[in-house]
Amino acid sequence: MTTPSTTSSGSGGVTGAGSSGSPRSGLPGQRGSDSKPHRPADYRPREITVGFLVGRLIALGLVAALLVFGLPPLIRTDNWIGVGVLVAAGAGIAYLYLSRRHVPLKYLLPGTVFLVVFQLVPVILTVSTAFTNFGDGHRGTKEEAITAIQTSSLEQVAGAASYNLSPALKDGKLVFLLVPVDDKGEPLLDQAKVGTPDGLTELPGLTDANLSLTKQLSEVPGYDILSKPDASARGDEIANFAVPTEQGAIKSSGLSKAVELTSVRDYDAACDCVKDTKNGKTYTADAKNGYFRSADGETIAQGWKVNVGLANFTRIFTDKTVSGNFFAVFVWNFAFAAASVLTTFALGLLCALALHSPRMRGTKIYRVIIILPYAMPSFAMLLVWRDMFNKDFGLINNLFGWHIDWLGEPMTARMSLILVNLWLGFPYMFLVATGALQAIPRELTEASSIDGATAWQGFRRVTLPLLLVALTPLLISSFAYNFNNFNAIKLVTDGGPYAIDNATVGATDLLISYTYRLAFGGIAQLGFAAAVSVIIFTLVAIMSIIGFRRSRSLEEVYS
Amino acid sequence: MRRRTVFAALGAAASASALAACGSKDEPTATPSKDKGNGKLVIWADTKRSAVLKKYADQFGKDNGVTVEVKEISENLQQVFVTASQQGSGPDVVVGAHDWIGNLVQNGAIDPVQLSPQQKSLFAAAAVKAVTFNGQIYGAPYALENIALVRNTDLAPTAPASIEDLVKAGQDLKKSGKVSEILLDQCGASGDAYHIYPIYSSGGGSLFGLTSAGDPDPNNVTVNSADSIAAFTKLKELGEKGAGALKTSIAAENVTATFTAKKAAFFITGSWNIADIKKAGIKYDITPIPGFSGGKPAQPFLGVQAFFVASKGKSKAMAQEFVANYVTNKEVANALYAADPRPPALLAAQDDAKAADPDVAKWLDAGKDGLPMPAIPAMNEIWGPFGNAEVAVIKGGDPKTAAEAAAKAINDAIAKKK
């Protein structure tokens, strides 16, 4: 039948081949169900319209494009497992959304993919990193470390000439035309040489006529001097080209200069060690720590990543710098998170209650004003607060004429932080409390007041318990968030102030800021940081589980 | 039903292959081969420098028949570079500060640059020394930076000969109500080792002992030596319970505004703040930071900006050519100076800059005895604990206790990372 199209695409009444063909069947909703009132909705196969088909193809095409986008880097790095996973994922997604079956999976898949990509993969990476010494100096493989050690030990031979280099071709093979330069950079044409993989030979008979304006060789009979673009195209060949000499080899430095180099450190696979010809030391591989170490304990800077087992975890508990301060930091950390949650909740709830009162006027304006701190970027606000607490230039002291070193004394610094966090956090609590209050029927409080309860009793015995049932999970998540509230500490106090006899841990350090400094303060130790993250995760998880258990018992009592 | 499925599947295949074809059209230029240079040089620099580099990089590209891409990394360039380098997605050339070298070398991220003796002689000796690490040159230096004493000449017409003179002049100005601060030397709640170091060194303080080769020795931290404790004592005397010249409330976020508001006559800072000072219309002069009378000279840290060759770049020969033989020329140095007025490291460009701007000679003079900032990785462990000790003594704490605590924290951290 040809009817005005039922699809939004407007491309004529082409409907799916299996459809009933009735003009009504394509109309949305009520009409269709009117005509067939006794048929269960799920019995009818879903209508396939052009718009639907096009939409689905576009969506799948976008997914395919995303996956294809990821292919080149994988192929470039020979990561065939990655390619396989990508292709399989593409095929699987195409099959799933083009077939009629597996309807629940169609809804589950996007969420599952994001769960895997953004939750599981980072967790697995963190936990696996916790068992390694990954960090500065230990990032790559042993082979990479050996390459780096050898490359960085190539030194210029003392007193040897340096050359202007002109890469050239002779009989199709690459050669170096080398003109030594004097102290002032002037070429010494009478000492010009030809460098090949076999060694140096003289290149006589050159005059200024062979030079270009930049004093590089421009023309030499018998040689085809590479133009700059040609030389660039052969860059790798030129970089790897070595002309052997008595003391080492002449190698290019870029494409237009060359120097005589000798290798100071060489890896010897027989002893699994690096020998240094300059200081005569032998550095033996220490597979446990990922270093080359000499007999007198000196290590070579370039190390490699090794598995260290539980060492990172045992260090948290045995290392005195870490464990010695752990308990004190933990106590303040707990107090900070608890105080942040309680104060923000109390103030937020108070505001919500005030605006919830039916007698209140202008609630909309009040709500906007209260939500403002929540709408401002917290990063900027934290810095503004830090400046307001400044002893000599800060707004607070200037306003009140005080001389309090807010962030310079442990107790005032802690108070300041909780105050800042209160300001930043109470609008959120206000929002959720407002929502929860509106869900509580007013009849309940009215009933209690008829029964003779005071307003306070009504709030304490009726409203608050009902609120807590709804809000406890949010309070727990807020606690977990503030337990790791790195931004507030980092930007306002950076962990300080420090006791004069302890430069390791400050009075306002949370576990997360303290370990951040341990792990990243100087040389990054990502393996150790990962181990600490795992421990902090465990602590927060335990506290959250306890919290949720308690909130469940609340629910049982009041529901 | 079946027909529909087949149709749908075909449609999906067609659209997917069409998209794939779109993608593959660009691919040959992007990835002709797996690990060879592909006629492309990638340079990473921070926001300020990437714009000016672009022009000269394009010129280099034209001369050598390659495309040059300058990518701006606005945050944390060093960390981003180390991580990317490890993953094989890093650049060929990176522009950064010389004190990154120790960390970049231990991560195998940069290669030595083989400057010939003649090329070395073109640079300021201190700049070459700064980019030398373990006896190797790791980058081509292009700019120097150091702090000096910037003075409001309306408030203080003559340069103080010693810190004592400075404090006296500042105190007199404060008493007469012309200024509110004696001296602006940023410290903040966490301390600032970079800005306090000149005064600390004049008091006799030091950070590391020296190895036999004359390099800083991470196994010999001297923050708690008798001389260093004496220096911390001098800081205490200048601090909040003493002369009041050093204060923890003076911090990065308020120093410049305080100076441009004419609330202080003396400002220890670098060339990066001069633009603001000029804009505020303040008459100023730049002189070396004075030392304590009878003490050692005040030594500022010397920082050098340099070009580095990435170890895992894809066009290494070209990167070497760019760093060793191209950016060492005068035009590039002059252009970089125009974009960001830090004195050039190339001597020839220094002369041009001096002629164009009298400040350049003053900055260089203030930094001529500077200490190239130690590039060893252990230096990274100094900042935090040293800053804490600085704050403690400025607030009037016991210098010996503070110095011992700092030294312990530094040594613990260095020992753990072996």
What lies within 8 Å, CB to CB, of A64 at 6+ separation is A90, A94, B12, B15, B16, B19, B20
Whether B25 has a pLDDT exceeding 80, the answer reads no
CA distance, residue A206 to nearest chain B CA (Å):
22
Per-residue pLDDT of chain A (559 residues; tens, 9 = 90+): 333 333 333 333 333 333 333 333 333 444 444 444 454 555 555 667 888 888 888 888 898 888 888 888 888 777 888 889 888 988 888 888 888 888 888 888 888 888 988 889 999 999 999 999 888 888 888 888 898 888 888 888 888 888 888 888 888 889 998 888 887 778 888 888 888 888 888 888 777 777 776 777 877 888 888 888 888 888 888 888 888 888 888 988 888 888 888 888 888 888 888 888 888 888 988 888 888 988 888 888 888 989 988 988 998 888 877 777 888 899 999 999 999 999 999 999 999 989 888 888 888 898 888 888 888 888 889 999 999 998 888 898 888 888 888 888 899 999 999 999 999 999 999 999 999 988 888 888 888 888 888 888 888 888 888 888 889 889 988 998 999 899 999 999 988 898 888 888 889 999 889 888 877 777 788 898 899 889 888 988 898 888 888 777 666 655 4
Q: Name the percent of chain A in helix, strand, coil, to the closest 5.
A: 55, 15, 30
What lies within 8 Å, CB to CB, of A384 at 6+ separation is none
Strand partners, B266: B151
CATH 2.40.430 fits A154-263, yes or no: yes
Q: Which of A45, A251, A408 is nearest residue B395 as measured by Cβ atoms? A: A408
> Where are the alpha helices (H) located in A190-319, listed in sequence order?
228-233, 235-240, 311-318
* C-alpha span between B357 and B366 (Å, rounded): 15
Name which of B65, B102, B151 is nearest A226 in CA terms.
B65
* C-alpha span between A435 and A428 (Å, rounded): 11
Whether B25 has its CB under 8 Å from any CB of chain A: the answer is no
* C-alpha span between A329 and A326 (Å, rounded): 5
Whether B116 has its CB under 8 Å from any CB of chain A: the answer is yes
User: Average pLDDT, stretch B359-388?
Assistant: 90
CA distance, residue B201 to nearest chain A CA (Å):
21
Q: Which of A53, A78, A139 is nearest residue B86 as measured by Cβ atoms? A: A139
| B286-307 confidence digits (pLDDT tens) | 999 999 998 899 999 999 999 9
Considering only residues B82 and A77, tell me which one the structure prediction assigns the higher pLDDT: B82
pLDDT at residue A426 in the model: 92
pLDDT at residue A43 in the model: 54
Q: Which residues of chain A neighbour B118 with C-beta distances below 8 Å?
A: 162, 181-185
- Share the mean pLDDT of chain B: 85
Name which of B256, B320, B300 is nearest B144 in CA terms.
B300
Same fold, B40-145+303-372 and B148-299+376-416: yes
Q: Are B40 and B69 in contact (CB under 8 A)?
A: yes
Q: Domain coordinates of chain B in residue numbers?
A: 40-145+303-372, 148-299+376-416
**To probe the interface with A, which of B320, B326, B383, B414 has the most A CB atoms within 10 Å?**
B320
CA distance, residue A484 to nearest chain B CA (Å):
21
The verdict on a CB contact (< 8 Å) between B406 and A231 is no
Whether B14 has a pLDDT exceeding 60, the answer reads no
* C-alpha span between A507 and B398 (Å, rounded): 19
**To probe the interface with A, which of B38, B80, B215, B249 has the most A CB atoms within 10 Å?**
B249
pTM, 2 dp: 0.80
Domain B40-145+303-372 class?
A: alpha beta
CA distance, residue A140 to nearest chain B CA (Å):
7
The verdict on a CB contact (< 8 Å) between B16 and A60 is yes
CA distance, residue A236 to nearest chain B CA (Å):
6
Amino acid residing at B387: G
ipTM of predicted assembly, 2 dp: 0.77
Q: Name the percent of chain B in helix, strand, coil, to the closest 5.
A: 50, 15, 35
* C-alpha span between B23 and B18 (Å, rounded): 9
Name which of B264, B232, B236 is nearest B250 in CA terms.
B264
Name which of A133, A154, A152, A153 is nearest A304 in CA terms.
A133
Q: Which residues of chain A neighbour B378 with C-beta distances below 8 Å?
A: 522-523
pLDDT at residue A376 in the model: 85
Strand partners, A252: A258
Whether B12 has a pLDDT exceeding 90, the answer reads no
Which of 1.10.3720.10, 3.30.300.30, 3.40.50.720, 1.10.1740.10 is the CATH number of A317-558? 1.10.3720.10
The verdict on a CB contact (< 8 Å) between A181 and B117 is no
CATH architecture label of B148-299+376-416: 3-Layer(aba) Sandwich (3.40)
Helices B383-394 and B193-202 cross at an angle (nearest 10°) of: 70
CA distance, residue B386 to nearest chain A CA (Å):
8
The CA-CA-CA angle for residues B358, B360, B365, to 5°, reads 105
Give the lowest-confidence range in A469-478, A550-559, B62-71, B220-229: A550-559
Q: Which residues of chain A neighbour B406 with C-beta distances below 8 Å?
A: 503
Whether B391 has its CB under 8 Å from any CB of chain A: the answer is yes
Q: How confident is the model at residue B146 (pLDDT cuts 50, 70, 90)?
A: very high
CB burial readout A81-113, b (16+ within 10 A) else e? eeeeebeeebeebbeebbeeeeeeeeeeeeeee
Q: Which residue of B has its CA nearest to A297?
A: B418
**To probe the interface with A, which of B318, B376, B383, B400 has the most A CB atoms within 10 Å?**
B318
Q: Which of A253, A405, A506 is nearest residue B320 as measured by Cβ atoms? A: A253
Backbone φ and ψ of A454, nearest 5°: -75, 170
The verdict on a CB contact (< 8 Å) between A253 and B113 is yes
What lies within 8 Å, CB to CB, of A244 at 6+ separation is A197, A198, A199
A118: DSSP letter: I
Q: What percent of chain B has pLDDT over 90?
A: 48
Tracing tokens 């030391």 back to the chain, one arrives at A281
The verdict on a CB contact (< 8 Å) between A181 and B12 is no
Q: Domain coordinates of chain A in residue numbers?
A: 52-129, 154-263, 317-558
Instruction: Give contacts of B 226-265 with A, CB under 8 A.
Output: 247-251, 253-254, 258
Backbone φ and ψ of A275, nearest 5°: -105, 135
Q: Which residues of chain B neighbour A139 with C-beta distances below 8 Å?
A: 82, 86, 107-108
